[in-house]
């Protein structure tokens, strides 16, 4: 174990990755677990290997216990996914978002420093676009650090955001990418915000796959999405019956996270 102190972050390096023209994909736990489920799927389907853990004094002050009774400190995790295609992927995720403003910036900057060290030129963060209502649509919203990238997003069916803010580490990592000589983009899957939503995760991964021209096997997340759609369908039918005769929900996006 090598241990490095970096602006209040302790790093545990497990091995030194040697990725091929890598792209950073960042997904943090948040509403609907849209980004978290998506990056977990990438790690699983590309047999990603964890190469670094990051501990921060700004994470929530807990020890996590898994279902076997094993305790672990809250950590950020960096994975190498060798795709065998044009781009390897570096995946960053964590057990939780840092608990303070300062902690969110610190961890974001550490993630970007590491990515730069490994030659990353593009960063995609995967997040949720909270609408507050269930919808049959699976829209993916996007924003990026350059107009060229937003144009490419549009070509692949991503709805480009107009004014607003992307909160938390997803917004910071995307925006700050340019300060590290990278392009940044955020893909936000439309979701109600009420349920863990693999449907939104699948839609986000589908857009990501097209934008990166990296083929992603969506098999297992599609299965989870199908189950979730059935649950959501039931909820919608129940809601519709309740609301019959009343003005319906507008489907207007309300909050982005």
Interface contacts to a copy of itself, rule CB under 8 A: 1, 3, 8, 10, 12, 55-74, 99-106, 109, 142-147, 150, 153, 160-172, 174-176, 179, 181, 184-186
Counting beta carbons within 10 angstroms of the beta carbon of residue 175, is it exposed (0 to 12), middle (13 to 18) or buried (19 or more)? middle
**CB-wise, 178 or 235, nearer to a copy of itself?**
178
**CB-wise, 61 or 245, nearer to a copy of itself?**
61
Place of tokens 């995790």: 77
Q: C-alpha distances in angstroms, 161 versus 46, 150, 206?
A: 30, 9, 18
d(CA 253, CA 166) in angstroms, rounded, equals 13
Q: How far is the CB of 175 from a copy of itself (least distance, A)?
A: 4
Q: C-alpha distances in angstroms, 158 versus 131, 153, 253?
A: 16, 5, 15
**CB-wise, 19 or 36, nearer to a copy of itself?**
36
d(CA 201, CA 223) in angstroms, rounded, equals 12
Tell me the β-bridge partners of 141.
159, 188
**CB-wise, 74 or 218, nearer to a copy of itself?**
74
d(CA 240, CA 245) in angstroms, rounded, equals 9
**CB-wise, 102 or 236, nearer to a copy of itself?**
102
Q: How far is the CB of 156 from a copy of itself (least distance, A)?
A: 14
Q: How far is the CB of 55 from a copy of itself (least distance, A)?
A: 7
Q: DSSP secondary structure string, 2-26?
A: EEEEETTEEEEE------SS-EEEE
Q: How far is the CB of 31 from a copy of itself (least distance, A)?
A: 15
**CB-wise, 109 or 197, nearer to a copy of itself?**
109
Q: How far is the CB of 221 from a copy of itself (least distance, A)?
A: 23
């Amino acid at each position: 174990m090598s241990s490095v102190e970096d602006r209040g972050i302790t790093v545990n390096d497990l091995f030194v990755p040697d990725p091929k023209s890598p792209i950073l994909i960042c997904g943090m736990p948040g509403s609907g677990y849209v980004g978290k489920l998506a990056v977990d799927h990438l790690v699983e389907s590309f047999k990603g290997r964890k190469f670094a853990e990051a501990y921060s004094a700004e994470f929530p002050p807990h020890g996590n216990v898994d279902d076997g009774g094993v305790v672990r400190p809250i950590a950020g995790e960096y994975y190498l996914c060798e795709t065998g295609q044009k781009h390897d992927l570096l995946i960053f995720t964590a057990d939780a978002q840092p608990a303070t403003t300062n902690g969110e910036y610190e961890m974001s900057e550490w993630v970007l420093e590491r990515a730069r060290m490994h030659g990353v030129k593009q960063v995609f963060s995967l997040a949720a676009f909270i609408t507050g209502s269930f919808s049959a649509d699976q829209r993916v919203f996007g924003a990026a650090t350059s107009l060229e990238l937003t144009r490419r997003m549009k070509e692949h069916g991503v709805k480009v955001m107009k004014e607003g803010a992307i909160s938390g580490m997803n917004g910071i990592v995307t925006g700050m990418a340019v300060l590290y000589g990278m392009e940044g983009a955020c893909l936000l899957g439309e979701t109600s915000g009420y349920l863990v939503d693999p449907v939104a995760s699948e839609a986000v991964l589908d857009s990501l796959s097209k934008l990166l021209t990296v083929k992603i096997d969506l098999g297992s997340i599609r299965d989870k999405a199908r189950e979730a759609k059935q649950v959501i369908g039931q909820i919608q039918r129940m809601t519709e019956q309740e609301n019959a005769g009343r003005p319906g929900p507008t489907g207007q996006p309300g909050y982005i996270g």
